[in-house]
Structure 1
Amino acid sequence: MIKQDSCYIVAEIGINHNGDLDIAKQLIELAKDVGCDAVKFQKRTVDVVYTAEELERYRESPFGTTNGALKYGLELSLEQYQEIDRYCKELQIDWFGSPWDEQSVDFLMEFDTPYIKVASASATDKGLLEYCSRTGRPLLVSTGMCDLAMIKKIVSTIDNAGGEIAMLYHCTSTYPSEMHELNLSGIQTLKQAFPGIPIGYSGHEPGVTPSVIAVALGAESVERHITLKRTMWGSDHAASLEPQGLRRLVRDIRDFKVAQGDGIIELLDTERPIAEKLRRKSTI
């Protein structure tokens, strides 16, 4: 769960498991090993989210030659999610998912997860927002592909439906994002616009520096896609962090939070012997 004095780091597995439970478990292990707080998946009811025409469209993948074969191939079963749930409890790491439709909300509610994540792609779906809100489970909401006016409507919709936003994420939905697209100052804009809501950062940029800067600008949570290797087959791997990058990200964020301190300037006990040694006089 999110702590006010820390940064809640979410490793988004998303669909980077490529439909393979073993890969999903390797990514969970990686996230736990480097010190992430949670892993996140994506859940879709394929024939609800996509039209029949979209599913029939030609698209080559390891699962076949149609878009439908790909979409169905990437969905994990109830039994596989039960194993994910068991494994995350064993490793003591949070997990939750982004439902892209109401049936997927019901699916995820079968598990005792701490949050429902609203993906940027779903953030303007009023019916889905209301449905998620009525579950009573706290929401994590990404805001990619939205301007401030749209974000205000999203927050209002959730509030009117009785929902709770546990974190609102500044986000740019390009994969991977260019530096000039990140607009990290948007974190402070969201803090000013929604003073009662914690603000986080969901990033898709190469490297880790912007995500650490986001924390310095006040982000209370960071979400990043992760992969075993960026050259793996799949649409999201190129915008994901490999193990070494994820390890650096977590290390640098944790180091920053320690170094940030409480802002109270005082003479440290560890400075006193240095002061006695270096100061010729102390007359102030």
Structure 2
Amino acid sequence: MSAVSTSSFSIAGRQVGPGYEPYVIAEVSANHNGDIEKAKRIITQARQAGADAVKIQTYRPDTITLESDLADFRIVDGLWAGRTLYELYEWAHTPWEWHPELFAHARKEGITLFSSPFDSTAVDLLEELGAPAYKIASFEAVDIPLIEYVASKGKPMIISTGMADAAEIQEAVDAARGAGCEQLAILHCVSGYPAPAEDYNLRTIPDMIGRFGLVTGLSDHTLDNTTAITSIALGASLIEKHVTLDRSGGGPDDSFSLEPAELAALCRDTKTAWRSLGGIDYGRKSSEQGNVKFRRSLYFVKALRAGDVITEDAVRSVRPGYGLTPKYLHAILGKTVKVDVDMHTPVKAELIAD
């Protein structure tokens, strides 16, 4: 089953797609560090920075992994080395009892809140809370039953594609479509924490747009905003970035997350990048109208009487640009003027005989 081309869709009334300003998602992830008040402050800061949405993650350690010390379950390198998967997710998870309060706080702040569910019970909780959209995390892009269950709810879905190859992305897209999802986006992603910019290969984004026919964006794990802003020029319509109040906060994801001022810059600069794309236009732009005086054109540099021949010493190519363009210089030499002209008069076609 192939994907159906989608030019745009709506999340909580905000249109998302190539014809609209980039949709910026502030990912809280584990950056609340076990403090609900901190989670609420991140939501507030995201709204103040201009983000379109805040995203959390809905799982418990027992819904995402097994409590085991076996080698398969131990993390041996990277940011979280030395922990088991269960210990990491116990540390990082957003307690389910927080969810109603966080959704209420987001509504109060006037910003969209949705989540990444990691199993069907998480989806059921989010449905009870009226989540307006769902995000499938990169590592769950191969969980076809989860994708189908989320898709069955009829909400907009965003699937992150880190670690997935083209065939796996197609399988995820087909599963979502087959289970009833009509509003679908995919995010190009590198599942490194942090990820070096050179791993992103952003030219993949236009290929994804052509290959899958979907609204496409970027889940960015680099340490600054350059990669995200660049992706806009290549067709990204959504940007997701981890956010925190303090990068030195010591939480699981703090070290590769944006602080509030950086998030504000991301929201501003991605929108500027999108506006700068515009359309194909070789015409004079509104900001150029007042600068015609700085272009070259032809001017009479001595007075002529009606019937006088235009000679080389009678005209010059100079600024401003109110006369004929200099390409007409040789065409007018040897012609006569129809009326008297004063020195420093712009050369106009109507002044010249034939």
Fold match by TM threshold 0.5: yes
CA shift for structure 1 position 53? 1.5
Alignment match, 1:62: none
Alignment match, 1:125: 143
Matched letter for residue 157 of structure 1? A
Instruction: Tell me if 1:268 matches 2:285.
Output: yes
Alignment match, 2:27: 12
Written as runs of structure 1 = structure 2, the 5 A alignment for 1:10-159 is 10-53=25-68, 68=86, 71-72=89-90, 74-159=92-177
CA shift for structure 1 position 76? 3.6
Displacement over 4 Å in runs of 4+ = 65-70
Matched letter for residue 224 of structure 1? K
Q: How many residues align?
A: 277
CA shift for structure 1 position 94? 0.6
Instruction: Tell me if 1:282 matches 2:324.
Output: yes
Inter-CA distance 69–146: structure 2 relative to 1 (3 Å threshold): closer
Overall identity of the aligned pairs, in %: 32
Could you tell me the TM-score, scaled by structure 1's length?
0.89
Written as runs of structure 1 = structure 2, the 5 A alignment for 1:207-226 is 207-226=224-243
CA shift for structure 1 position 19? 1.9
- 1:68-101 C-alpha deviation (Å, 9 max, x unpaired): 5663454444442112111111111111000111
Inter-CA distance 156–48: structure 2 relative to 1 (3 Å threshold): same
Q: Is the 8 A contact 1:45 1:101 kept in 2?
A: no
SS at match of 1:183: coil
Matched letter for residue 156 of structure 2? P
Query: Could you tell me how far apart the structure 1 residues matched to 2:206 and 2:321 are?
Result: 41
Q: Is the 8 A contact 1:118 1:140 kept in 2?
A: yes
Q: Is the 8 A contact 2:59 2:94 kept in 1?
A: no
SS at match of 2:174: helix
Mean CA deviation greater in 38-47 or 115-124: 38-47
Q: Is the 8 A contact 2:56 2:94 kept in 1?
A: no
Could you tell me the TM-score, scaled by structure 2's length?
0.72
Aligned CA RMSD, in angstroms, stands at: 2.3
Q: Is the 8 A contact 2:66 2:86 kept in 1?
A: no
CA shift for structure 1 position 103? 0.7
Query: Could you tell me how far apart the structure 1 residues matched to 2:273 and 2:199 are?
Result: 24
SS at match of 1:39: strand
Matched letter for residue 52 of structure 1? E
Q: Is the 8 A contact 2:59 2:117 kept in 1?
A: yes
Query: Could you tell me how far apart the structure 2 residues matched to 1:183 and 1:70 are?
Result: 29
Q: Is the 8 A contact 1:141 1:165 kept in 2?
A: no
CA shift for structure 1 position 52? 2.7
Mean CA deviation greater in 94-103 or 68-77: 68-77
SS at match of 1:2: strand
Q: Structure 2 unaligned runs (5+)?
A: 1-13, 76-82, 295-319, 329-354
Query: Could you tell me how far apart the structure 1 residues matched to 2:152 and 2:180 are?
Result: 7
2:261 is aligned, of 239, 244, 247, to 244
Inter-CA distance 110–14: structure 2 relative to 1 (3 Å threshold): same
Q: Is the 8 A contact 2:242 2:258 kept in 1?
A: yes
SS at match of 1:250: helix
Structure (1/2) with the larger helix percentage: 1
